[in-house]
Amino acid sequence: MASPNSSLKILEVCKVAPPPSSHKSSFPLTFFDLLWLRLHPVERLFFFPVPHLNSSSFFHSIVPKLKRSLSLVLYHFLPLAGNIVWPSDDSLKPIAQYSPGDAVSLTIAVSDSDMTNLIDNSPREAVQCRPFIPNLESRDSSASALSLQITLFPNSGFCIGMSSHHACLDGKSSSMFIKAWAYLCRMTEADDAESESSSSGLLPPELQPFLDREVILDPRGLAVAYINGWSGLDPTGQTQKNRPSLKILSDMFPLIVDDSARAIFELKRGDLNKIKERVLQKWEINHKATEEEREDSSSSLSKPPTLSAFVLTASYVLVCIAKAIERTCENKTRKLLFCFPADCRSRLEPPIPENYFGNCVMPNIIETREEDFTDDGDGVVIVAKKIHTKIRKIQRERGALEGAETLFCRYSLESGEEIEIQYIAVAGSNRFGVYETDFGWGRPEKVEITSVDKNITMALAESKDGNGGVEVGLVLKKNVMDRFASLFQTEMESI
């Protein structure tokens, strides 16, 4: 999809394979992976300013180093070099598989777009960044795990676009991969042939992926339940006769870029402290217990000593979004469901390594009511309590997988309700450290999760200046974005 105000020229489409010493490998998909089997790809853009970068330097220095280091890093991350496949016609579950000859698709392009405009956080046409995201192939029988694109902006810099299959990795694993690639790019020369033989020892421990999927146990039979859930949906998300397919349900998650704006907003450390003080000050004043609090007398209404940056950010942004939607639509949203992922690596029994590569997140849903978003300033308090209580419940023993069996059933039931339902989700995290990604030409000026344009989703990242703040990326209809931008400022002034 091209931007109406710029042009993109594709210069090369090539395949980058791991070193020849890489052997055929298969990786079972766990129920954490299968939960995302046919979801749209996760897309990210990393913008790297390089002043006065010309075509000669780009093609003779930057591109060869990126290609060479990509080959080396794929040696460590073989699931990304391969495909998701059904191993046989009678197989119950698909697998991630790498076979010699498999490779990652890499597109090299040049754009005449204004990179200064692209890295600005202010609202702009949502479609503008789409040309820099590579396509990820998927068919009924197989699906690519990863696709990449490197785009030159002459005299300004370049960006790396990444489209990854969600059934292969979650946000934490994705961040580990891109940092590992960057690390090897800094350490590797484009013509360093000797590095291939020693590639297995190049990464520091924190960037070495743990690939053993057998550590994920499935006593509840969740894998079969999730496969059946996806197999029973046609491309539009409607129920159909069960048949195995790996094709991404693109019609079920359409782009919402038409008449939409894309922007990044920042809550600085001072803003977060201000929200925290307000929430804790009013924690026990005139607020009904949440459903989780009523179920668990141990949590009661006692306020916590502090609140995480995630709780503070999510509650504030959620209230601003809800009010923006309410005040720009003729029909008010009667039910708003907030869905956020919880990392389960340390919450399983037994816990698994932090560098586990794959998916290990479980969605959690919080239901809010219209009265939660009042104009008296207490909306953020109410929503913060709901999110905090849900997280506290997750942290209890076995709480991480509570409700996992009914995820598909719940979605189907809620989708069929006659009342209006709005899902608001979360992508990314302010704990991934994406702005630490340095390929050798400096850290990125901007990191954007572009795939939030499939639904209303807040994309979280740490502030790039390292001040402890949080960035929030959004794609909203233009009239909603205008109202949100105003509320984002005025709501803070009223706290």
Query: Could you list the active site residues?
Result: 166, 438
Instruction: Tell me 333's DSSP state.
Output: P
Q: What is the C-alpha to C-alpha distance for residues 192 and 190, in angstroms, rounded to an integer?
A: 6
459 vs 76: CA distance, rounded Å: 28
Taking only Cα atoms into account, the Rg of the chain, rounded to an integer number of angstroms, comes to 23
Q: Sign of the CA dihedral 236, 141, 167, 159?
A: negative
Long-range CB contacts (< 8 A, 24+ apart) of 132-135?
132/8, 132/45, 132/159, 132/161, 133/43, 133/45, 133/161, 133/163, 133/450, 134/105, 134/107, 134/161, 134/162, 134/163, 135/163
Beta partners for residue 13, in sequence order: 107
Of 442, 448, 465, give the one whose Cα is nearest residue 49: 442
Strand 421-428 to 457-462 pairing: parallel
The token pair at 186 is 């800094």
Strands 124-125, 83-85: parallel, antiparallel or unpaired by DSSP? unpaired
